Amino acid sequence: MEFSSKLLENAVSEMSQLPGVGKRTALRLVLHLLRQPKEQTLDFANALSTMRTEIKFCKSCHNISDTDVCEICSNSNRVENIVCVVEDIRDVMAIENTSSFKGLYHVLGGKISPMDGIGPNELNIQSLVEKVKLGTIKELIFALGSTMEGDTTNFYIYKQIQGYDVKTSTIARGISVGNELEYTDEVTLGRSIINRIPFETSLKS
């Protein structure tokens, strides 16, 4: 692809690094931004820059937040002793959209995947185990996708907290095996939270 401007080429190159965006799509997006009023494009760029430099991760659950403790963790109306374990922020958003869960979350930041070089130490697992050790959590709900990596991560955490007085459950399998939570419709996801089953039971199936 030939470019008449090095500045244009650099912008297209950066844009094409986004997931699912090839060179042609990146070029179309960059040209669209060029056609917009300069102020609008600068506002767009500033929003990205501000987000990247000022965004925080909640000290309690590792959710993305504007403050040190996210709005969910700081909400006194949430049930503090029930914690839903999810892969990332997209899963928090998906579950929150169902309005079926009133507890707190713990965002792992991924799933154990040896093939991708992701082990337990690369995830927010130890901080979850420390929470369980404090004895304030009555139930952990494993809400990772029904994939091999998700099941491996669930089982690893389960083994780490065995011996502590905490109930473990997993979302009901109304969600198709292999599906990610963010693509599941809200009604199915909501019911899977409400109809969760003991994690030990899921190990036998």
Q: What is the pLDDT of residues 29-88, one digit of tens each?
A: 999 999 999 999 999 999 999 999 999 999 999 999 999 999 999 999 999 999 999 999
Nearest residue to 60 (alpha-carbon basis) of 70, 49, 46, 45: 70
For residue 191, the model assigns a pLDDT of: 62
Please give the average per-residue pLDDT across 165-179, as a whole number.
71
What's the mean pLDDT when you consider all of the chain? 89
φ, ψ for residue 45 (rounded to 5)? -65, -40
Model pTM above 0.75:
yes
Asked if 164 contacts 126 with a C-beta cutoff of 8 angstroms, the reply is no
Please give the average per-residue pLDDT across 130-158, as a whole number.
92
For residue 177, the model assigns a pLDDT of: 45
Burial of 196 (0-12, 13-18, 19+ CB in 10 A): buried
Tens of pLDDT, residue by residue over 134-145, are 999 999 999 998
